[in-house]
């Protein structure tokens, strides 16, 4: 559905993208992760035709990005670009006309899209009177008003409360069920874990890792992560290393990669004699993978 091949873009002295390549299959939800400045926004702007690449190629359904491919792509930007003084129905009708939908088709499509995002009863409501969650859902309706084959979601649920976030997640899953391909960028790692079929991690414009969550977990060849709070960290590190545990820093947390599953009494025995405030066990998650890839901890 989407093929990005050796895509590069420079702004002055800054290399925003460097030969980025990735491909999305039809009906797939693909999560694109990376720290601020990694190149995610640049990639999206190139995909939407707002920028031109210095080199490389983007194909949407086998077609280079052009006026024609704009009808194949729907975009839900990070900020809600909605007319606050218009109603939900008026916002969608206006966008439908811009996309060239026929008069007979617009009314039905607006109703369909409002129903799809659970806003059918809010068709006549002014957007400025809607909650943040409702406005995000309306933004998603705006992204699909022209029946695109590829939908780009930029931070779709950032800033929403947990109930509104779950609503947006269900709507994203419904797109997949309809065969729509979804490219998702977000800083919410649990969002990616719950929704995405495959994940790409970029930094400084380069794709550093890609695959399913299970595939990416293989980059950390251990059974679990153990986090310890202690005032004597050097002693804890020395003790852990003597048992073959690999030390890691996750923010302020002192953590260890444990190569085998140990019962809690055995785990505590490995640190006997040390004063510890707490010890906790965690499965390998996307957070650990993401930090390992982006911080290059293995090189330290």
Structure confidence at residue 287 (pLDDT)? 92
| 149 and 257 inside one domain | no
Asked, for residue 66, whether it belongs to a domain, the answer is: yes
| 274 and 136 inside one domain | no
pTM of the predicted model as reported, rounded to 2 decimal places: 0.88
Asked, for residue 291, whether it belongs to a domain, the answer is: no
Digit-coded pLDDT (tens) for 29-57: 999 999 888 899 999 999 988 899 999 99
Structure confidence at residue 299 (pLDDT)? 41
Structure confidence at residue 160 (pLDDT)? 83
| 206 and 235 inside one domain | no
| 77 and 39 inside one domain | yes
| 210 and 235 inside one domain | no
Asked, for residue 295, whether it belongs to a domain, the answer is: no
Instruction: Answer yes or no: is pLDDT of 296 > 90.
Output: no
What CATH number does the domain containing 268 carry?
A: 3.30.70
Structure confidence at residue 165 (pLDDT)? 87
What CATH number does the domain containing 161 carry?
A: 3.40.50.300
Supply the range of the domain harboring residue 82: 2-216
| 191 and 255 inside one domain | no
| 114 and 162 inside one domain | yes
Q: Sign (positive/negative) of CA torsion 197, 203, 206, 208? A: negative
Structure confidence at residue 297 (pLDDT)? 44
Structure confidence at residue 180 (pLDDT)? 95
Instruction: Answer yes or no: is pLDDT of 257 > 90.
Output: yes
Asked, for residue 296, whether it belongs to a domain, the answer is: no
Asked, for residue 299, whether it belongs to a domain, the answer is: no
By the 8 A CB rule, do 74 and 48 touch?
no
Domain count along the chain: 2
68 vs 216: which has the higher pLDDT: 216
| 152 and 231 inside one domain | no
Asked, for residue 74, whether it belongs to a domain, the answer is: yes
Digit-coded pLDDT (tens) for 131-189: 988 999 999 999 999 999 999 999 888 778 888 889 889 989 999 999 999 999 988 89
| 235 and 175 inside one domain | no
Give the CA count within 13 Å in the CB-facing half-sphere of 23.
6
Percent of the chain with pLDDT over 90: 81
| 212 and 246 inside one domain | no
291: its two tokens:
């930090």
| 194 and 254 inside one domain | no
Mean per-residue pLDDT of the chain: 92
Asked, for residue 123, whether it belongs to a domain, the answer is: yes
At 119, is the pLDDT very low, low, confident or very high (cuts 50, 70, 90)? very high
| 169 and 241 inside one domain | no
Asked, for residue 297, whether it belongs to a domain, the answer is: no
Mean pLDDT of 81-101: 95
Question: What is the separation, in whole angstroms, between the first and last Cα of the chain?
Answer: 39
């Amino acid at each position: 559905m989407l093929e990005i091949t050796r895509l590069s873009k420079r702004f002055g002295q800054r290399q925003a993208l460097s030969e980025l390549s990735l491909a999305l299959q039809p009906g797939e939800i693909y999560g694109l992760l990376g720290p601020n400045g990694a190149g995610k926004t640049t990639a999206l702007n190139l995909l939407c035709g707002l920028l031109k690449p210095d080199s490389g190629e983007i194909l949407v359904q086998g077609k280079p990005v052009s006026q024609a491919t704009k009808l194949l792509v729907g975009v839900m930007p990070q900020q809600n670009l909605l007319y606050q003084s218009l109603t939900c129905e008026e916002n969608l009708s206006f966008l439908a006309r811009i996309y060239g939908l026929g008069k007979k088709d617009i009314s039905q499509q607006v109703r369909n899209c409002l129903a799809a995002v659970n806003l059918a009863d809010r068709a006549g409501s002014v957007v400025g009177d809607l909650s943040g969650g409702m406005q995000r859902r309306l933004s998603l309706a705006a992204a699909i008003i022209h029946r695109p084959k590829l939908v780009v979601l930029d931070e779709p649920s950032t800033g929403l409360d947990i109930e509104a976030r779950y609503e947006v997640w269900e709507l994203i899953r419904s797109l997949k069920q309809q065969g729509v391909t979804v490219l998702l960028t977000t800083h919410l790692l649990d969002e990616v874990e719950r929704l995405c079929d495959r994940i790409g991690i970029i930094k400084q414009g380069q794709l550093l890792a890609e695959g399913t969550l299970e595939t990416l977990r293989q980059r950390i060849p251990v059974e679990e992560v153990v986090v310890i709070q202690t005032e004597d960290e050097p002693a804890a590190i020395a003790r852990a290393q003597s048992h073959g545990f690999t030390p890691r820093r996750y923010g302020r947390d002192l953590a260890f990669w444990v190569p085998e599953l140990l019962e809690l009494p055995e785990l505590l025995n490995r640190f006997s004699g040390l004063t510890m405030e707490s010890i906790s066990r965690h499965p390998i998650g996307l957070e650990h993978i993401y930090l390992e890839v982006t911080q290059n901890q293995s090189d330290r």
